[in-house]
Amino acid sequence: EAGVAQSPRYKIIEKRQSVAFWCNPISGHATLYWYQQILGQGPKLLIQFQNNGVVDDSQLPKDRFSAERLKGVDSTLKIQPAKLEDSAVYLCASSPLEEKLFFGSGTQLSVL
């Protein structure tokens, strides 16, 4: 079974630029999550989708972050404009039943 796919693996941008991350969840998983993991911390939930609807985006900085899940499958997370404090690993996870999470390898973002 294919796992959660994320790209790119690494991204370096300058502050105020925009960036987008892509995630392809495990086939059949209804729930998709984007987490932000700052160095030395645990993952923090940014947004949770159930199929193509948003379940929770309470911790998403909506002035600069946006996310969508097209047709309830792939998802894209965008940051525009990026700030220095956005430097982190962005993890995508999927789950069949909102319980056990299957994670991708993450995208490591460095904002200079």
Residues that bind another protein (CB under 8 A): 33, 40-45, 48, 55-56, 89, 91, 93, 98-106, 108
- Tell the smallest beta-carbon distance from residue 98 to another protein (Å): 5
Choose among 100, 79, 94: nearest CA to 48: 94
- Tell the smallest beta-carbon distance from residue 56 to another protein (Å): 6
- Tell the smallest beta-carbon distance from residue 70 to another protein (Å): 22
Long-range contacts of 49-52 (CB under 8 A, 24+ apart): 49/75, 50/98
Nearer to another protein among residue 19 and residue 31 (C-beta): 31
- Tell the smallest beta-carbon distance from residue 39 to another protein (Å): 11
Nearer to another protein among residue 3 and residue 18 (C-beta): 3
Do β-strands 53-56 and 44-50 pair in parallel, antiparallel, or remain unpaired? antiparallel
Choose among 20, 27, 21: nearest CA to 2: 27
Nearer to another protein among residue 68 and residue 98 (C-beta): 98
Quote the tokens at residue 111: 């904002």
At 70, is the secondary structure helix, strand, or coil?
helix
